[in-house]
Amino acid sequence: MSVTARFRFGRKGPVRFLGHLDMLRYFQRAVMKSGIPAKYSEGFHPHQLMSFAYPLAVAMETEGDYMDLDLAEEKPADGILEDLNSVMHEGVWVSRVSILGEGAANAMALVAAADYRIFTGYTKEALIQACDGLLASDSILIEKSKKNGKKKKETIQKDIRPGILRLEAEEDGALFMKLVSGSGMNVRPADILSLIVEKCGEDSRDPLIRRLEIYGEEGGELLPLSDCGGGKKSGD
């Protein structure tokens, strides 16, 4: 029987400058060092059967990202959480482990939305005005590059207004947003930040983007990925 563990993890500080492949190697080494019984692929170059829900952009922090790992044998979620955190370096941690039910979809296939907080440096009043202006628009068109059948890039316009589920100004120059994510529509926080900068009329001072949570959809409701797929969780 196949067993999959879903990890909810965070990263802050200098490690936010790691790229996606660097994060993949980091977790591969951490799993090996912790002694977690990972399942490996077959062939000449076996590797851990590991996948991330939504790869992080360079320089982005996170409090709620997800990774799936197939296990060679079942192990209690609490034990996996303790073993993995014991070998983590400063700035990366695992906050929850879920042992998924049989047949559960992988995290990447479930992604439907994500929460973000951007620390912009603008005043709350300026952000409120910018947010109200964006939300009052029937459509928000941005340009995207897309490869055609001949592998040449072409520029298309895309309406991202339906993908903005929430957009709110907070204290201390912070901006909260809930955005549609996934294969059907994927709205990037950097796109929203660019629009905010245009409306505020000056460059944001060293903005910091932090992902707070990733959601899947079950029964028409958005749920954190740690609650999708059933199974046992660390702390249950």
Q: What is the pLDDT averaged over residues 28-41? A: 94
101 pLDDT above the threshold of 70: yes
Q: Give the other-Cβ count within 10 Å of 156's Cβ.
A: 11
203 pLDDT above the threshold of 70: no
pLDDT of 229: 67
pTM, rounded to two decimals: 0.90
Distance of CA 200 to the CA centre of its chain: 27
pLDDT of 219: 82
Domains defined along the chain, listed by start:
3-109 (3.30.70.580), 121-206 (no CATH)
**Cβ-count burial 165-202 (b if 16+ within 10 Å, e if not):** eebebeeebbbbbbbbbbeeebbbbebbbebbbeebee
Please tell me the distance from the alpha carbon of residue 107 to that of residue 110, in angstroms, as a whole number.
Answer: 5
Q: What is the pLDDT averaged over residues 183-205? A: 86
